[in-house]
């Protein structure tokens, strides 16, 4: 068992994007705490199994952030399950989950499963649009963070700026409201300085697109968070 409380940096690999063996090795051996496999669209059983097998050549923990039921497979260390709090469609909050538990409930290892209360805060992002999310004011985000911890008791609250760098002041305000639930920040981290800034407040910083667009700077975010 890995201790997620000790994690502060993860790389998110999109199964729908190509990465060479050489780049993948650099990502996996970077000193990051875990590889999270996840994406919004084009996530299939085939590309999830392929990336899992390739990451498994390395010893880094590997987590599946579930995007859809079709691509669910055993073999990951943990499963992170998004529940989109600001979606207008309850499907993304709990209905897909309900269906999946009906189907797999008896064979699930609940110790491997971690719920993420998600707030989609970048209206331009694919993830925001795909999940029919609504725009939020800072006070809404803070209330959702409190609900995540005090009402739902989820282990994670995910502030998702996917594709754009967010507001550190909001990240700080959200963190101030959380005691038990870990705060994940993701979105637009391309530089060590940005990773460091968000890591002052977020428990875990996620670096995604930068892996594919500027690997050398993406790798520098690990040290920036860890020092």
Ligand X SMILES: CC(C)=CCC/C(C)=C/CC/C(C)=C/CC/C(C)=C/CC/C(C)=C/CC/C(C)=C/CC/C(C)=C/COP(=O)(O)OP(=O)(O)O
Residues found near ligand 1GP in the complex (CB under 6 A): 12, 160, 162-163, 186-189, 206-210
C-beta of 105: minimal distance to Mg ion in Å? 30
In the list ligand 1GP, ligand X, Mg ion, none, the entry touching 189 (Cβ below 5 to 8 angstroms by class) is ligand 1GP
Q: Which stretch binds ligand X (CB under 6 A): 24-32, 96-104, 166-174, 215-223?
A: 96-104
Dihedral of CA atoms 36, 206, 67, 59 in degrees, nearest 10, equals 0
Question: Rounded to the nearest 5°, which phi and psi values hold at 216?
Answer: -65, -40
Closest by CA position to 164, among listed 131, 220, 123? 123
The secondary structure element, H or E, covering residue 168 is helix 168-177
From residue 192, how far is each of 18, 19, 196, 211 by CA, in Å? 23, 21, 6, 13
Binding mask 2-31 for ligand X (x = CB under 6 A): ------------x-----------------
- Considering the rule CB under 6 A, would residue 149 count as an interface residue with ligand X? no
- Considering the rule CB under 5 A, would residue 47 count as an interface residue with Mg ion? no
Closest by CA position to 127, among listed 226, 208, 22, 31? 208
Q: Is the distance from CB of 56 to CB of 83 less than 8 angstroms? A: no
Closest by CA position to 183, among listed 166, 206, 167? 206
Q: Which stretch binds Mg ion (CB under 5 A): 50-58, 148-156, 185-193, 208-216?
A: 208-216
Residue written as token pair 């977020």: 202
149 marked ligand binding residue: no
- Considering the rule CB under 6 A, would residue 160 count as an interface residue with ligand X? yes
Beta carbon nearer to ligand 1GP, 103 or 124: 124
Residues that bind ligand X (CB under 6 A): 14, 38-40, 65-69, 72-74, 79, 81-82, 84, 92, 96-97, 100-101, 104, 108, 113, 118, 126-127, 131, 160, 162-163, 208-209
Summarize the annotated binding site for sn-glycerol 1-phosphate as residue ranges. Answer: 12, 158-163, 188, 208-209
């Amino acid at each position: 068992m890995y201790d997620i409380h000790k994690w502060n940096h993860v790389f998110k690999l999109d199964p729908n994007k190509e990465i060479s063996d050489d780049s993948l090795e650099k990502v996996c051996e970077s000193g990051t705490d875990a590889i999270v496999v996840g994406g919004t669209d084009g996530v299939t059983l085939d590309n999830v199994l392929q990336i899992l097998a390739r990451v498994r050549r390395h010893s880094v923990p590997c987590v599946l952030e579930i995007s859809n039921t079709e691509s669910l497979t055993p073999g990951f260390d943990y499963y992170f399950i998004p529940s989109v709090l600001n979606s207008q469609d309850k499907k993304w909050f709990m209905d897909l989950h309900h269906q999946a538990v009906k189907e797999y409930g008896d064979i699930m290892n609940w110790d491997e499963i971690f719920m993420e209360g998600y707030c989609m805060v970048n209206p331009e992002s694919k993830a925001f649009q795909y999940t029919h999310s609504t725009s939020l004011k800072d006070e809404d985000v803070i209330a959702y963070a409190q609900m995540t911890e005090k009402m739902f008791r989820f282990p994670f609250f995910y502030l998702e700026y996917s594709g754009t760098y967010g507001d550190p002041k909001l990240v700080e305000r959200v963190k101030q409201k959380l005691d038990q639930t870990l705060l994940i920040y993701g979105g637009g981290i391309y530089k060590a300085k940005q990773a460091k800034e968000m890591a002052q407040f977020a428990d875990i910083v996620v670096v995604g697109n930068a892996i594919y667009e500027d690997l050398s700077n993406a790798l520098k975010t690990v040290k920036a968070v860890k020092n």
